[in-house]
């Protein structure tokens, strides 16, 4: 079944849709949907539906429980409304039916064609948290939050979802990703490149608060990229690298201290993606969540598990699960980072990047970012830019920022908000 919908299209010049609108959504269910105008799945992602409609959609079999929806009984009824809409929009651009409060505007169809609808998903999430989230007090302050959300972003034809409604520091994001890929944990490497996003979480005070008194300042512990490349290997708190058997002195040589295996998750995935007989495996999973070493990390990983999937011969997609999502500051980085990773792996393994899917657990906005979110959702997105990776290197560790080119990144001004460690 395919679901399609009309809305009254309440808008203003900034494409700001009212979450609290009282509009009705007209839905018709059809087997093919070829002649219908608007896909219901995309519609839900693009426009904030009125309460109690779920921001991320609803089980299709239960649409009739929503008082805001009018389910049409036949294709004929649907065609009649389309015909009415086409006739009336040539004169006054709106069609009134049932009451003055429910209208179908041609603007909604223009917006579908002309807007960056995938970024509107993200703006809708900000808006929904502001309107429907609950205030919670946690480890590092007050947040307004919801639980459970998902978004999808196309990566076809070189598209890369770098948020445009504020300037996103994509080079900073890419430098961190390449640092993860190399399995590094010493933030001095990032600082040397002008990247300071880990500074607050690797100070002496912060590390001591986590009980990591033996760590030298600047180490994040065996987190993120370390688990990608050295899963569960013993961590050297001086070098920030895996302990080798040669490093263990004669007095401490016992089975508990030895690293008896080297689990390089990322390389295993690369090897499988390069092998036509293995690339369609449903086991291409990379986990940063290692319960055995969580207490050794400066921060337990927020983006903790991703799965890669190849379909139709050569189309590579990535799905990410993220347990904790700082939607204003962190999520734009997370989207861009895993989109970069998917493009990189596709290029490196002779595939084509297809889609990034983002599954999120606790989605929150910090109290100090509320006004910034209100400003951002007023802005109209630009089209996403295009990525080009200039060469294929022999080793995944050898890629440099200079290997990546981003074209046509048009964006609004930066919105500054302090990160809360």
Looking at the annotation, which residues are catalytic?
302
Token reading at 242: 């895996």
Residues 6+ apart with CB under 8 A from 277: none
- Residue owning tokens 């076809």: 156
CA distance 5 to 72: 10
CA distance 390 to 82: 47
CA distances from 43 to 104, 105, 133, 313, 401 (A): 14, 14, 22, 29, 36
Burial class (CB in 10 A: 0-12, 13-18, 19+), 303: buried
DSSP H or E stretch at residue 129 = helix 117-132
DSSP H or E stretch at residue 191 = helix 188-191
CA distances from 70 to 5, 6, 66, 86, 101 (A): 9, 10, 9, 20, 14
Phi, psi of 412 (to 5 degrees): -80, 175
Token reading at 195: 């990247």
Task: Please give the full DSSP string across 347-394, using - where no structure is assigned.
Answer: HHHT-EEEEEEEEEEEEEEEGGGHHHHHHHTTSPPPPP-EEEE----S
């Amino acid at each position: 079944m395919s679901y399609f919908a009309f809305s009254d299209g309440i808008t203003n010049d900034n494409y700001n849709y009212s979450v609290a609108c009282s509009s009705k959504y007209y839905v018709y269910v059809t087997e093919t949907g070829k002649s219908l105008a608007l896909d219901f799945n995309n519609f839900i992602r693009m426009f904030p539906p009125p309460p109690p409609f779920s921001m991320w959609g609803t089980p299709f079999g239960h649409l009739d429980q929503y008082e805001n929806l009018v389910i049409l009984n036949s294709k004929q009824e649907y065609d009649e409304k389309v015909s009415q809409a086409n006739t009336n929009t040539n004169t006054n651009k709106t069609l009134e039916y049932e009451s003055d409060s429910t209208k179908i505007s041609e603007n909604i169809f223009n917006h579908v064609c002309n807007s960056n609808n995938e970024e509107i998903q993200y703006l809708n999430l900000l808006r929904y948290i502001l309107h429907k989230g609950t205030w919670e007090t946690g480890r590092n302050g007050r947040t307004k939050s919801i639980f459970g959300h998902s978004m999808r972003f196309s990566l076809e034809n070189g598209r890369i979802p770098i948020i445009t409604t504020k300037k996103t520091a994509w080079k900073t994001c890419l430098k961190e990703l390449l640092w993860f890929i190399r399995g590094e944990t010493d933030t001095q490497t990032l600082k040397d490149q002008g990247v300071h996003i880990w500074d607050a979480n690797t100070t002496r005070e912060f590390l001591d608060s986590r009980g990591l008194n033996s760590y030298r300042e600047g180490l994040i512990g065996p987190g993120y990229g370390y688990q990608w490349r050295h899963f569960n290997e013993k961590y050297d708190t001086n070098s920030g690298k895996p302990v080798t058997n040669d490093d263990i002195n004669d007095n401490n040589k016992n089975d508990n201290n030895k690293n008896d295996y080297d689990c390089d998750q990322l390389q295993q995935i690369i090897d499988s993606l390069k092998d036509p007989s293995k690339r369609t495996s449903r086991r291409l999973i990379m986990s940063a969540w290692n319960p055995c070493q969580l207490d050794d990390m400066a921060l337990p990983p927020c983006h903790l598990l991703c799965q890669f999937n190849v379909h139709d011969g050569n189309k590579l997609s990535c799905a990410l699960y993220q347990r904790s999502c700082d939607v204003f500051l962190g999520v734009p980085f997370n989207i861009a980072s895993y989109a970069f990773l998917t493009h990189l792996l596709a290029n490196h393994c002779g595939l084509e990047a297809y889609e990034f899917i983002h599954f999120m657990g606790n989605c929150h906005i910090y109290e100090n970012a509320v006004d910034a979110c209100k400003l951002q959702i007023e802005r109209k997105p630009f089209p996403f830019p295009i990525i080009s990776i200039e060469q294929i290197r022999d080793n995944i560790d050898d890629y440099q920022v200079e290997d990546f080119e981003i074209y046509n990144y048009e964006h609004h001004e930066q919105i500054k908000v302090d990160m809360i460690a």
